[in-house]
Amino acid sequence: MAKQHEYQLIDMINDKARLAGSNKMELLLFSLGGHETFGINVFKVREVCETLPITKTPNMPGGVEGIISLRGSILPVLNLAACLNMENDKPKTKLIITEFSTHTQAFLVHDVDRIVRVDWDHVRAPQSMPAHVSGKITALTELPDGKLVSILDVEQILGDVIGDEPVPTFEPVTEEVGNATLFFADDSPLARKKIMEVLDKLKITYQFAHNGREAWEKLRAVAAKAEAENANLSKQIGMILVDAEMPEMDGYVLTRHIKEDARFKGIPVVMHSSLSSVANKKLGQQVGVDGYVAKFHPEELASMITNMMRNTKEAAL
């Protein structure tokens, strides 16, 4: 890819704010040497560059090629083809430098194609996938030319490579926060598992949805029932936790819907996202989120949940 093309990619990557609340996503398309096309949310991409010299180091996990030095930072390099059990002899010419979940790393790929914009409502969770990529592809979308793009769950891939940190033990907080339920929405099985572990240890009841559209339908149903019964909704739902990236409706649009519906007044919305940069936190603030927690930090998540739900309980008295 020509240098000018690389600079154009970086310029587009830096122009993120205009997508907040639009229910659109920009995908960086790339290949791993086969016929498949893969994509990663541009929000997670810091830059794209030609492959740099990779230093092999001992005791690296499978899928990690080594490390590189980039502008004074030492970054691990993950061979995406190896991580997906799709290794081949095609040359790997590009590095995608990514930043999410407060980690920065490089993904080694065969080649980078272009950036495309897609509507979240045209993105669907896969019904079934081959065993070698099962759990590592979070969604699929179809481009206007009919080409299918597999959107990678890079958090799951990173977790598989470096391992999961165990969720610590927390003291139950039922007396502090009351009997209200926490509602959360996240399309990632890994994220849902982590959230549920935290909530189970806090002894907080919960409901969840797999994407923003499903979440909004469930939340409206709960609100309609409370309205019909003349009940205080904030005594039933103490907090709503949303992911930023979700098929069909993203967390920004979901938050905007919640904040525009008077029935949810007084119920805090917290964004729990791997998009951990300052810019992405500001995007959440633009649509009205009350708090922001980066994935995956169980102590910070537990503290945020406890404080927010305690405040909701006190305000509802």
DSSP string, 225-281: HHHHTT--GGGTEEEEEE-S--SSS-HHHHHHHHHH-GGGTT--EEEEES--SHHHH
Query: For residue 7, is pLDDT > 60?
Result: no
Considering only CA atoms, which of 42, 39, 19, 18 is closest in space to residue 100? 42
Most distant pair of Cα atoms in the chain: their distance: 66
pLDDT at 262: 93
Residue written as token pair 């503290």: 303
CATH 3.40.50.720 fits 3-161, yes or no: no
Q: What is the mean pLDDT of residues 154-175?
A: 84
* Global pTM exceeds 0.85: no
| pLDDT tens-digit map of 95-122 | 999 988 778 899 999 999 999 988 877 8
**Which tokens is 122 given?**
């045209």
- 85 CB-near residues (< 8 Å, 6+ apart): 132, 133
User: Residue 295 to residues 155, 161, 206, 265, 305: CA-CA distances in angstroms?
Assistant: 9, 16, 19, 26, 14
CATH 3.40.50.2300 fits 174-316, yes or no: yes
Number of C-beta neighbours around residue 300 at 10 A: 14
Per CATH, 3-161 and 174-316 having the same topology is answered no
| Cβ atoms of residues 192 and 209 within 8 Å | no
Query: For residue 54, is pLDDT > 80?
Result: yes
Consecutive H or E run containing 206: strand 206-209
Query: For residue 186, is pLDDT > 90?
Result: yes
Number of C-beta neighbours around residue 31 at 10 A: 17
Q: What is the side-by-side order of every strand in the sheet holding 64-70?
A: 45-50, 94-100, 103-109, 73-79, 64-70
Domain residue ranges in the chain: 3-161, 174-316
Q: In which band, very low, low, confident or very high, does the pLDDT at 276 lie, cut at 50, 70 and 90?
A: low
**Which tokens is 223 given?**
């609100």
User: Residue 258 to residues 90, 160, 216, 218, 264: CA-CA distances in angstroms?
Assistant: 48, 34, 8, 12, 6
pLDDT at 277: 59
